[in-house]
Structure 1
Amino acid sequence: MLRAGGTGLRENERVETVSAELAAAPDHVADALGIEEGAQAVRRQRRYLDDKGVVAVSTSWLAGSLAEAAPELIRTERLPKMTFGLIEERTGRRAVRRRDTVTIQPVPEDVAELLDAEPGTPTLVMTNHYWDQNGDVTEYAVDYLGVGRDLSAEYDLD
C-alpha cells in the first residue's frame, strides 16, 4: 500500500506503537533472520485499531545492526515510510520479495491483553518474511489478527 502511494493503513485504521527496543532474539526469530540465537535484534510491536476495535497485534523483528543505520527503529514514534521504507532509505536494501504464512494459533499470554482476547483463544496468525534484492531477510513479522476478524486481499489481475 505504501509504494502505491498510500500510508500503509486502511481507511479508518490507526496504529499504536506499543514498544520498540533491542532485545535478545529468540530461537525462531534468529532462524528467520539468519542471526545467532540471543543476538541483539530490533523488536517493534504495534497494535492496529479501527472503529470495531483491535484489528491486529504485529511484532516485527530485524537484525540489531539496522538500529545503527536507522535509530528510529528503536523509538515508539510512527515510521512515516514503514519499516521497509526506512531500511531502504538508510541502507539501500529494498524489500523485493515477501512470503506470508497463515495459520490458526492460540493467542499467547503476552499478546492477549493487547488483542483484547483471552489467552489461548484461537485466532488467525500471519507470519511475514521480507527479502531484499540480495536475497537476505530484512524483516520477520508475526501478526495476530483480532478474534473474529477476516483476512482478505484484493489484487488487479491485469
Structure 2
Amino acid sequence: LLFYTLFASLPLLLGIMFINNFLKSLIMYNFYLIIFNELLYYSLIMAFLVKMPMFLVHLWLPKAHVEAPVSGSMILAAILLKLGGYGLLRVFMFLIKFKNLNLFFMLLSILGGVLISLNCLRQLDLKMLIAYSSVAHMGLVLGGLFSLT
C-alpha cells in the first residue's frame, strides 16, 4: 500500500514542482500557458488513477479492505476512493489536451470494470467483494470521466 502511494505520488509532486517553477504560481487558471507533454500528463494523473483505483493499479485495495475493520472498509469504499476522481476533475484541462491518450484510459477502465465485475461473481469473502465492486464501479466512473462529456 505504501509503495503504490509512494511510486504514484512522487511523479505528481515532481509535476507540481515543474508547474510551479515554470509559472511561478499554482493558480489553475494559468495552466493553459504550459506547453504540455505526455510525461507531465502521466505524472499528474497517475497518482489519482492509483487512488481512484483503476484496473491494473488496484491491487492495494483488496488488501486494505481485508486488513481494515468493517467501519474502516466502509469509509474507504464510500469516501476515500472518490478523492482520486476529485483530483482528476481538478486537473481536467490536462485531460482535454490529450484526447488520444484518454481513449486508451477510457477503454482500459471500462474493460477492467467488466473483468472485475466477473471476478465479483466468484468472491466468497464479503470484504473482498466490496473491494472488487469498488474497483468495478470506479472503472465505469473513469470511463465516463475520460470520455470528456
User: Please, what TM-score do these two structures have when normalized by structure 2?
Assistant: 0.24
More strand by share: 1
More helix by share: 2
Q: Which has the higher contact order (CA 8 A, sep 6+)?
A: 2
